Amino acid sequence: MTEFNTPDLDNLIADMFDTMHAQSGAGLAAPQIGVMRRVVIFGVEANPRYPEAESVPTTVLINPIIEPIGEDADLGWEGCLSVPGMRGLVPRYTHIKYRGMSEKGEAIERTASDFHARVVQHECDHLDGVLYPMRIQDMRYFGFEEVLFPDL
């Protein structure tokens, strides 16, 4: 995708934020609302779905590229608006560098760790048709949210 700052792109991004906020999600990828473009959004302030999570800057990232920094990986619980009601324990790189463009066509380049890095990896996976259950290594740690986290 090469056109930025267009009404079409602004509408897509507004729809994506509406969907993400309506579901209290940490992020969303355009294919999740049926748009096959390489656009992801993410951002976390206080999020009831992730009460322990640190904040993540609200970001629109277009044509993203992720590079791991080192080999370190962590397991963390993930959910996904495309896999409703479920949670799974997913390995992700602990430290990454990511880059892409904003909706205005400005270059974004950041390093991220921990939950921030996890959210970016999860959302970018959607652009390649990868959902988090495909990355779970131990299926004992995949199940219904209300069973795994009855107190949530």
User: Which range touches Ni ion (CB under 5 A), out of 10-18, 46-54, 59-67, 72-80?
Assistant: 72-80
Asked if residue 102 lies in contact with residue 60, where contact means CB atoms within 8 angstroms, the answer is yes
Asked if residue 27 lies in contact with residue 68, where contact means CB atoms within 8 angstroms, the answer is no
Rank residues 9 and 40 by Cβ distance to Ni ion and give the closer one.
Answer: 40
Regarding 26 and contact with Ni ion (CB under 5 A), the answer is no
Binding mask 28-67 for Ni ion (x = CB under 5 A): ----------------------------------------
- CA distances 143 to 11, 91, 101, Å, are 34, 16, 35
- What is the distance between the alpha carbons of residues 34 and 11, in angstroms, rounded to a whole number? 14
User: Cβ 106 to Ni ion, closest distance in Å?
Assistant: 25
Asked if residue 89 lies in contact with residue 138, where contact means CB atoms within 8 angstroms, the answer is yes
User: Which of 52, 71, 123, 145 is an active site residue?
Assistant: 123
Residues that bind Ni ion (CB under 5 A): 80
List, by residue number, the catalytic residues: 123
